[in-house]
Amino acid sequence: MNQNPGIIGKKIGMTQIFDDKGEVIRVTVVQGGCVVLGKRTLEKDKYSALILGLGERKEKSTKKPVLGFIKKAGQTPKRWIKEMRCSAEHAAKYEVGQKVALDGIFEAGQIVDAQGTSRGRGFTGVVRKWGFAGGVSSHGTHEYFRHGGSIGTNMTPGRTLPGLKMPGQYGNETVSMLNIRVAKLILEDDLVLIEGAVPGPDGGLVVIRGAVKKKNAGKKKA
């Protein structure tokens, strides 16, 4: 499990910047500025984590149990609340109510993972979902244009094999982009600029944390 330090952020959109060599880097802008709402501790909860909140929510549209939790932390209701597993040492650096500063977590050039919810496309056919070619549109084809073709044989094995690509729900699932680079941090607006794309629509929630498949959470050696 990725327990590297990270943030929850809002995807703002994509743009491009020039690096110091004058080359263009395509970046996704993610806005951080999340607040620590609570902690999980080894003594009480048998694991350590930070509970982070981001964005604004009206008090009247906040559920009562959540509102109670927010009030206890002395905060305003948040649009997103997420628990992030982390080491006890990392959790000890933060107080409840403290804003998570980006420069305390990321550095430019760091390798990170970004997780978001992809755009939902609903119930989708095989041509769009799996890139099937569909059928030929001539040679006597009758009502068989965007079908997936055969789904198996007859007697042997007498069933459709598991994992066969068929139509169904496409998108609206959690997608993780592993090993992508932080291009730049803009601290005054709490922005992280990440090279390349990040899953989800603009305005969506994104979880960014140090890369799980790199040493030292993807940071250059300190």
Partner 1 sequence: MLTYPIIGKIEATQTREGMPEFRVGDTVRVHYRIVEGEKERVQVFQGVVLKRHRAGVRSTFTVRKVSFNVGVERVFLVHTPRIEKVEVVSRGVVRRARLFYLRGLAGKAARVRDAKD
Q: Give the DSSP H or E segment for 69.
A: helix 64-73
From CA 144, how far away is CA 126, in angstroms rounded? 13
DSSP 8-state assignment for residue 105: T
* C-beta closer to partner 1: residue 152 or 203: 203
Nearer to partner 1, 86 or 193 (CB): 193
Q: Please, what is the minimum distance in Å from the beta carbon of residue 83 to partner 1?
A: 27
Pick between residue 84 and residue 191 the one whose CB is nearest to partner 1. Answer: 191
Name the minimum Å distance from CB 181 to partner 1: 17
Q: Counting every residue, how long is the chain?
A: 222
Smallest gap from residue 22 Cβ to partner 1 (A): 4
Residues at the interface with partner 1 (CB under 8 A) = 12-13, 15-18, 21-22, 24, 29, 31, 186, 189, 191, 193, 202-203
Position 139, amino acid: H
Residue whose CB is less far from partner 1, 30 or 112: 30
* Ramachandran angles phi, psi of 67, nearest 5°: -60, -40
CA distance 113 to 4: 10
